[in-house]
């Protein structure tokens, strides 16, 4: 595949902000590379800008872009975001529930839909120049990860892939495997989180900091949580839900230093999540979570179609190492 003319400067001039260094690097590598680019960066850092550049370039060239996500809800959200940006005639949506303007130059779809399209109607991909694999770290999911593997292996070589991933420790290994099947794959790694994450624990309608400034567990919060847990065992069972009422708890959150909207230009929004009573282990102080522990002997299911005679191979089971990820 030949390199293509860069429109990075023109694209940046149309933005209300300047590109970060890693965004510009990813765009340059997307233009100069042969198979595409894998971008590994934290949530809210602005990875989607690289996908938006691919859309900008495709619309200028008269080609098409397919933007995939692992969830129907996320696909719906991206569809509405792009409709606001490019207009209804330019953007389509294909999920298991909705099909809207599926011949548009920019089509958002779930990843499984694209996998099925590759096998059932590959001619529809002739005009596609870019495929965006949002949340590509789902390749580590069992058993859905094989869907991402199939797309990497089976998608036409004329298509450049834009992989958007949370921060992972072995991104180079994944890119090398993708390069084996795509004829080349560039990588960009960025570990700076522009939106700070602070972890809080809700106990009896009050928020308590989960970590101290030095990163260690706040023992006072730990003790309060233990007391609450012991009390629940003494009661034996609750006749109604526990006392934590999020509507009351959220009002007690500190507002000082918080950015309006909780996001930066080009980045996703910061979403506050409240964990249920299930135990999933402590979260590191920087907000990153560990990848799932290896499941020995359990490889993603791969159909016979993946046994290629052209030397391409499927990704080994459990490609993502158990290192800290976003």
Residue 206: what pLDDT? 86
Give the separation between CA 12 and CA 10, rounded to whole angstroms: 5
Domain presence at residue 18: yes
Give the separation between CA 177 and CA 297, rounded to whole angstroms: 20
Residues 92, 160: one domain? yes
Domain presence at residue 1: no
Residues 185, 204: one domain? no
**What are the beta bridge partners of residue 93?**
100, 108
Q: Is the peptide bond before 143 cis (omega within 30 degrees of 0)?
A: yes
* CATH number of the domain encompassing residue 109: 3.40.50.300
Q: What angle do CA 306, 307, 313 make, to 5 degrees?
A: 80
Residues 142, 224: one domain? no
What's the domain count of the chain?
Answer: 2
pLDDT digits (tens, 9 = 90+) for 64-94: 999 999 999 999 999 999 999 999 999 999 9
Residue-range definition of the domain harbouring residue 72? 8-194+299-325
Domain presence at residue 253: yes
pLDDT digits (tens, 9 = 90+) for 161-182: 999 998 877 888 888 999 999 9
Residues 140, 216: one domain? no
Residues 18, 109: one domain? yes
**What are the beta bridge partners of residue 200?**
209
Between helices 48-61 and 72-86, what is the axis angle to 10°? 50
Residues 222, 78: one domain? no
Residues 131, 44: one domain? yes
Q: Is 131 helix (H, G, I), strand (E, B) or coil?
A: strand
Residues 90, 226: one domain? no
Give the separation between CA 208 and CA 187, rounded to whole angstroms: 39
**pTM reported for the whole predicted model:** 0.68
Q: Is 58 helix (H, G, I), strand (E, B) or coil?
A: helix
> Using an 8 Å Cβ cutoff, are 203 and 244 in contact?
yes
- Average pLDDT score, the chain: 78
Residues 186, 220: one domain? no
Average pLDDT for 145-172: 92
Q: CA torsion 72→73→79→85, rounded to 10°?
A: -160
**What are the beta bridge partners of residue 109?**
68, 94
Q: Is 145 helix (H, G, I), strand (E, B) or coil?
A: helix
Domain presence at residue 315: yes
Domain presence at residue 292: no
Q: What angle do CA 284, 288, 294 make, to 5 degrees?
A: 95
Give the separation between CA 98 and CA 321, rounded to whole angstroms: 36
Residues 14, 135: one domain? yes
Residues 189, 212: one domain? no
Residues 172, 256: one domain? no
pLDDT digits (tens, 9 = 90+) for 262-320: 444 444 433 333 334 333 344 344 444 444 433 333 334 444 344 444 555 555 544 44
Phi, psi of 107 (to 5 degrees): -125, 125
């Amino acid at each position: 595949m030949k390199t293509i003319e860069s429109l990075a400067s023109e694209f940046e001039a149309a933005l209300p902000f300047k590109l970060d260094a890693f965004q510009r690097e990813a765009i340059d590598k997307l233009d100069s590379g042969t198979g595409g680019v894998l971008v590994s960066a934290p949530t809210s850092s602005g990875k989607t800008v690289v996908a938006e550049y691919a859309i900008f370039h495709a619309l200028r060239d008269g080609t098409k872009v397919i933007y995939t996500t692992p969830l129907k809800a996320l696909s719906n959200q991206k569809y509405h975001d792009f409709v606001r940006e490019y207009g209804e005639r330019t953007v389509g949506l294909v999920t298991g529930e909705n099909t809207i303007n599926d011949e548009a130059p920019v089509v958002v779809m779930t990843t499984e839909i694209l996998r099925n399209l590759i096998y059932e109607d590959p001619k529809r991909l002739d005009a596609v120049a870019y495929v965006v694999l949002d949340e590509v770290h789902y390749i580590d999911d069992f058993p859905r990860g094989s869907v991402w593997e199939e797309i990497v292996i089976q998608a036409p070589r004329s298509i450049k892939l834009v992989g958007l991933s949370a921060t992972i420790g072995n991104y180079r290994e994944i890119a090398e495997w993708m390069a084996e099947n795509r004829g080349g794959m560039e990588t960009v790694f960025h570990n700076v989180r522009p939106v700070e994450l602070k972890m809080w624990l809700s106990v009896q309608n009050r928020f308590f900091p989960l970590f101290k400034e030095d990163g260690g567990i706040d023992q006072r919060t730990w003790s309060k949580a233990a007391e609450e847990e012991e009390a629940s065992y003494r009661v034996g069972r609750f006749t109604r839900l526990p006392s934590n009422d999020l509507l009351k708890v959220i009002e007690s959150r500190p507002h000082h230093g918080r950015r309006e909207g909780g996001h930066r230009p080009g980045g996703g929004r910061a979403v506050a999540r409240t964990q249920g009573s299930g135990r999933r282990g402590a979260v590191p102080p920087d907000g990153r979570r560990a990848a799932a522990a290896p499941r020995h002997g359990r490889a993603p299911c791969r159909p016979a179609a993946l046994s290629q005679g052209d030397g391409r191979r499927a990704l080994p089971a459990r490609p993502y190492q158990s290192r800290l990820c976003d």
